Structure 1
Amino acid sequence: MEHHKPVSQDTHEQSHHMGDEHTHSHGHAHHNHDAHQGHGGHGVDHSGHEMMFRNRFWVSLVLTIPVLLFSPMIQSWFGFSMPEFTGSNLIGPGFAILIFFYGGMPFLQMAIPEIQNRKPGMMTLISLAITTAFVYSLFAVFASPGSGFFWEMATLIDIMLLGHWMEMRSVRQASGALNELAKLMPDTAERVTEDGQVEQVSLADLSNGDVVLVRPGTSVPADGEIIEGHSDLNESMITGESKPVEKSEGDSVIGGTINGDGSLRVRVSATGDDTALAGIMRLVEEAQGSKSNTQILADKAAGWLFYVAIAVAAITAVLWVIAVGFEVEVLERVVTVLVIACPHALGLAIPLVVAISTSIGARNGILVRNRLALEEARQVNTVIFDKTGTLTEGRFGVANMVTAEGWDENRALSLALAVEGDSEHPIARGIRRKAEEAGVSPASIRDFEAIKGRGIKAIHEGEEVYVGGPRLLEMLELDLSGEMSAFRDQANADAQTVVYMVVDNQVAAAFALADVIREESKEAIQRLHEMNIEVAMLTGDSQHVADAVARQLGIDTVFAEVLPEHKDQKVAELQSQGKKVAMVGDGVNDAPALTRADIGIAIGSGTDVAIESAGIILVQSNPLDVVKIFELSQATYRKMIQNLIWAMGYNVVALPLAAGILAPVGFVLSPAVGAVFMSLSTIIVAINAQLLRRTELSASAA
């Protein structure tokens, strides 16, 4: 387990900003048997830094007051004077030196690793700016007594500290998804003992196989299976599904979800780090810690900016010396250049967007394991869906039915339900589900009998009732005509299985059954087409069945009768045509294909969140969430680029101004004003990143 040192130990806190770790170290792994305890402390890193910068800002701000009051320049600007006494001229410089060593020290400490690694970046630039301002101020006191430039250095450090405090605050708020998730887990659970008594225990004391009591309105303490009770559970915080989910005996529940009105007894199947919630938190944390290409670009830009700033400062010094000679004004120009070059906005541009987009994804049931996968999703032009369990529900259901004259659907379903009542055949289960959805109760039957290879026979109110397929009609020597015949032909064309119910030697009803296509599949494919993304389907089913599903959904390319071990070859086939391919599968037999694809998207159940082969995991088996991935990818990338353009564009404009390009027309930028502009650009970048929260994802449940 990683141990965090106390917040007061500034050196540890400051290391958070060192060099490449400016991505805000979201990636700390917490390994603890108690998910609640293990992850609850995630906020320490950000809140610790936030408090440190906040405290140093307020102390430095208070110390700045006497610096300003005893500055001759400020006094002449605002027309006031302070009483003079022995040593009064040292009050300003004295407090300014305190500010430099107290307020400026974190930046100096964090620059050391960058310099040691010969990778100058954010902290090196900030340290260069405040050190130059400090040395310049000391020089100014002796070279031009009474000019007192210390106030500029003091306000510069104040602004730097304020900017960093705001940055840490923004990142902490963006990363709040983890803390919110940690709060979902209760601290204790009610364990049912062998003699039926209920005892209160901490989550750390729960183990697999324990039975816990979940009272109405309380949180489920761990993943498990309901062994007694019935209730509606609110799973929105885990899956993004806004509607409560009905659960009864045999159903699985996820730790952290909220129980409705019913009382449940749950047998624990996963605790601590093995729970779905802990898995989700790990993935969110990993994603926020992993760098994207854009972040790497920002880090490189900070390095380039260091050398650009040094070069511009040198050129500025040479040109100003030529123009005015060796004057204090030359130093002021150089200092302003180095202050302006601080890439504060650049440092915040990407990490904040990363943190916000990852938490938006988690709220929408999209778990990003690999930042690059989300960033590159916007370039995908072909999506391959595995058919069974992804586009379809992986179970037989009644797709359509027709009844003969004199029969209504409910009466037919009631009788079919009675005849098929005890069969475990997938088709029988499909008919039962249809009957249950219609709310009908089974009719009374007797003399139940199975007819091998043909179907089932029973007696209802003295009449023989048969349920079976085409071979049943052959046995009974019955022909179909009119509406029944047309129904059969259409069902065959759609690759559906037809089951007939015969009463008193007449076909009373026909049921067309198929692997049920998810309601969301058609809309998902339509949305993908609107985004100019081609859709392919992979299945082990026959070509006939695959073509029928593809026709219904409007799929562009069909790969049928594909063995699981050959699925990745089909991905490679599309890639060889120059296509950027995303593969959507269940992550079990699709693992090689998910790995082969440019982006692997695993559709898991709520508890199967750590599928190693996928870069992105969808908590719910909802194809529409695939559309959300592309929308989030595009919105995130847009924000990153906007922020990079603003952060870099600011420097392109500000550096020449700092160098004094407009001095001939009487405009020069002071170091303190330069610092204000620098912090302003940081605030604009932070606000722009926060606007990402307004992104509306398709069918968003967030």
Structure 2
Amino acid sequence: MMINDFKKRFYIVLVLTVPVMLLSEMIQHWLKIHFSFPGSQYVLLLLSSIIFFYGGWPFLKGWWEEIKNRAPGMMTLIGFAITVAYGYSVATIFGLQGMDFFWELATLILIMLLGHWIEMKSIAGASRELELLVQLMPDDAHLVHGEQVMDVKTATLKENDVILIKPGEKVAADGLIASGESYVNESLLTGESKPVEKKKGDKVIAGSINGNGAIRVTVLHGVKDSYLSQVIRLVQDAQQSKSRTQLLADTAARWLTLIAIVAGLVTFFIWYLSGSTLAFAIERMVTVIVICCPHALGLAIPLVVAKSTSLSARNGLLIKNRTAFENSRKITTLVFDKTGTLTIGKFEVSKIVVLLNELTETDLLRYAAALEQNSEHPIATGILQKAKASSVPVPLAENFTAITGKGVEAIVEGRLVKVVSPGYLKETNISIPGSFRPAADETVVFVLLDDRLAGYISLADTIRPESAEAIQTLRENGIRSVLLTGDNRQVAESVSKQLGMDSFFAEVLPHEKLQKIKELQDKGEFVAMTGDGVNDAPALAQANIGIAVGSGSDIAAETAGIVLVNSNPKDIVNLILFGKATYRKMIQNLAWATGYNIFALPLAAGVLYKAGILLSPAAGAVLMSVSTVVVAINASLLKVKQ
């Protein structure tokens, strides 16, 4: 492991540096001692050579790789600096006039090894959240085979296998509960802080932690296709992808490398040609090159990326497009879908009105339920739950067809049945009875029997308790909130007013949502759109930032740059605030990584030499290493606010 390698090299070089410093003429002069023996200069050469070739090997190897790839960078600068220092010092041993600086070489390599060791530990810390995600998947599973239960490797599980999850154990695979009940902790996967009640037929996610009840789970797919595996792949891809900010940092690092080499050479020639010794001129050049190393600059963005991407994944915020995530700071308008996002999404039937004398409420409910059993829409769920609660038998529906954005139709018991929205009645010129007076918070679907209006069913959906707080937080951050829904105007207006939203669009069909997003963009708004990633795909693609919500079971929403596991509106707000915080960290790191050079470079070059202020190569290495550690610590302070 690279961290252990740098650690080992650091301690060996540390031990060797002590005698190198004791044998150094400069150190002896400073300490006012004299210590030498026959051949001591060759012992100094031997120890320094070990330090150079063994301790400096990672930098020399990196230098060669950068030259081979025609991409000079940090390793080029360090490799060049220590080679010049070593070459000059060796020459002094064999007759060149001047004083060696083997001790500077030793301390320079020592500090660079320490800096890299600390930096790698910081990088590992920034990616710790991803490692925790990986560790969530248990190695073994209890496979149920008839009456027997045997332990098998999780990787061998396949679709339709039945596994036993004992109390307190991690769920080994995505699946449906075949028997048993329990509370399952999914906080590390979805950000949902409270354990979720699970019973027969409910879905469980691999990596979640079972509560006090034993459950048997029917496996839905192998480990590589599990939700957790998809999240890990998504995080890895996002961490490796480069946004515009990263490309900017890479460009700046390349320029800083060139500046370091040019500044080092200019420093050398100015001091040497002005009469200074060769040793002094080389020392200034080495110090300038080391202090200008773009190491902190090269890490400024990747460290924040590693931290933010893995941390957000553990909070149910999945980043597919890093540029979209960083651009969340620009959002001026956030467009919300209503059902399941601002509202709980669980519709309950509040009223059934029959308009044909030949039918009863049970008949109307039976026909509607027959059509809705083919749908997973919250309204359909509400109607089916009402039918089940009323013990109404649901007949089969044949030739089922969706009427895009307006409803569904099918043949039930030989009759053409349609369940449609108010918009469909307007388009087909079917008159709504004058007694029709829905409440402001009710959603109504009409039932047509052989193209005659048979009645309507009213359903109500409750606003999420977190919605008002989320909208308020947006307002405090200067972001407008807009409701975009296919529901009727009264419902949309009621929800919008209750939550204090800025505006709303009602009775909007899926293909019209894109147009509404365009209208906002034409007004100069930077628009983020939230949707389910399926019906809202065109609008998500059109928006400046597409956020797919409530897609925990399908994180591959192609049109969205960001996927939220839960539909909680607070998660959407947290995402935007986290995006802003991440961008601030990036700018802070870039400012520090480049800014300290403004003061350090002139000092390294010897501008204040006459005032008695001079940085040694070792001091330059300390400053460079400290700047890297500051960048790493700053990145590690990034947090998702809840």
TM bin (shorter chain): 0.7 to 0.9
Partner Cα distance (1:298, 1:132) in 2: 28
Structure 2 Cα separation of the partners of residues 213 and 120 of structure 1: 55
Higher deviation after alignment, 92-101 or 137-146? 137-146
Pick one of 48, 52, 57 that aligns with 2:5. 52
Q: Does 581-590 or 598-607 show the bigger shift? A: 598-607
Structure 2 counterpart of 1:338, from 289, 292, 305: 289
Offset of 1:284 from its aligned partner? Answer: 1.5
Paired amino acid for 2:175: G
2:18 maps to what in 1? Answer: 65
SS in 2 for 1:171: helix
Tell me the residue number matched to 1:42: none
1:29 match:
none
The CA deviation string for residues 411-460 of structure 1, in whole angstroms up to 9 with x for no partner, is xxxxx9xxx999969889869989x9xxxxx9xx99x999xxxxxxxxxx
2:585 corresponds to which residue?
639
Deviations 1:592-634 (A, max 9, x none): 2222222111113432223222211111111111111111111
Pick aligned residue for 1:673 from 619, 626, 629: 619
- Looking at structure 1, the residues matched to 393 and 523 of structure 2 have their Cα atoms a distance apart, in angstroms, of 56
State yes or no: 1:275 paired with 2:275: no
AA of the residue aligned to 1:368 = I
Q: Residue 10 of structure 2 aligns to which amino acid in structure 1?
A: F
Q: What are the within-5 Å matches in structure 2 for residues 113-512 of structure 1?
A: 113-142=65-94, 147-193=99-145, 195-325=146-276, 327-397=278-348, 492-495=439-442
1: CA distance between counterparts of 2:276 and 2:383?
95
Letter paired with 2:41: N
* Alpha-carbon distance between aligned partners in 2 of 1:493 and 1:181, rounded to the nearest angstrom: 44
1:273 Cα deviation after fit: 1.4
Contact 2:98 2:278 (C-alpha < 8 Å) held by counterparts: no
Distance 1:140 1:297 in 2: 43
Q: Which residue in 2 is equivalent to 1:44?
A: none
Deviations 1:189-225 (A, max 9, x none): 11222x3322222112211011111111111110001
Structure 1-normalised TM-score? 0.76
| Counterparts in 2 of 1:178 and 1:494: CA distance versus 1, 3 Å | closer
Q: Percent identity?
A: 54
Tell me, what secondary structure is at the counterpart of 2:200? coil
Q: Which runs of 5+ in 1 are unaligned?
A: 1-47, 401-415, 437-441, 451-484, 499-510
Counterpart CA distance in 2 for 1:631 and 1:139 is 59
- The aligned length equals 575
The C-alpha deviation readout for 1:20-48, integer Å capped at 9, x for no partner, is: xxxxxxxxxxxxxxxxxxxxxxxxxxxx2
Sort the Cα spacing of 1:658 and 1:198 in 2 relative to 1 into closer, same or farther, 3 A.
same
Kept after mapping to 1: 8 A contact 2:88/2:100: no
- What are the Cα deviations for residues 460-490 of structure 1, in whole angstroms up to 9, with x where unaligned? xxxxxxxxxxxxxxxxxxxxxxxxx9xx97x
Q: Is the 8 A contact 1:140 1:328 kept in 2?
A: no
Matches of 2:65 and 2:519 in 1, distance apart? Answer: 47
Contact 1:381 1:579 (8 Å CA) reproduced: yes
Matched, 1:585 2:525: no
Pick the aligned partner of 1:546 from 492, 495, 498.
Answer: 492
Q: What's the counterpart of residue 684 of structure 1?
A: 630
AA partner of residue 254 (structure 1) = I
Of the structure 1 ranges 95-104 and 258-267, higher mean CA displacement relative to structure 2 is found in 95-104
Deviation at 1:570, TM superposition (A): 2.4
Q: How does 1:505-584 map to 2 (within 5 A)?
A: 513-584=459-530
CA contact (8 A) 1:129 1:342 kept: no
Cα distance between partner residues in 1 of 2:440 and 2:319: 40
Matched, 1:629 2:629: no
Relative to structure 1, the CA distance from residue 218 to residue 495 in structure 2 (aligned partners, 3 Å threshold; closer, same or farther) is closer
Q: Is the 8 A contact 1:396 1:430 kept in 2?
A: yes
Alignment CA distance shift 1:281-1:399 (3 Å): farther
Can you give the 5+ residue segments of structure 2 that lack an aligned partner in the other structure?
Answer: 352-360, 373-377, 395-434, 446-456
Q: Could you tell me which amino acid in structure 1 is paired with residue 270 of structure 2?
A: L
Cα distance in 1, alignment partners of residues 477 and 515 from structure 2 = 26
Superposition pairs of residues 605-620 of structure 1, within 5 angstroms: 605-620=551-566
Check whether the contact 2:234–2:318 (CA below 8 A) recurs between aligned residues: yes
> Is the CA contact (8 Å cut-off) linking 1:217 and 1:258 kept in structure 2?
yes
> What is the SS of the residue equivalent to 2:563?
strand
Q: State the shift of 1:153 in Å.
A: 0.9
Residues 431, 522 of structure 1: CA spacing in aligned structure 2 closer, same or farther, 3 A cutoff?
A: farther
C-alpha spacing 1:570/1:168, structure 2 compared with 1 (3 Å)? same
Task: Label 1:427 to 1:65 Cα distance change in 2 as closer, same or farther (>3 A).
Answer: closer
What amino acid is aligned across from residue 629 of structure 2 in structure 1? I
Q: What's the CA shift for 1:515?
A: 2.6
Q: CA contact under 8 A between 2:184 and 2:195: conserved in structure 1?
A: yes
CA displacement at 1:156 relative to structure 2: 0.7
Q: Is the 8 A contact 1:207 1:268 kept in 2?
A: yes
Contact 2:143 2:162 in 1 (8 A): yes
Please say if residues 130 and 311 of structure 2, whose CA atoms lie closer than 8 Å, have aligned partners that are also in contact: no
Matches within 5 A, 1:99-110: 99-110=51-62
Q: Distance in 2 between matches of 1:428 and 1:602?
A: 22
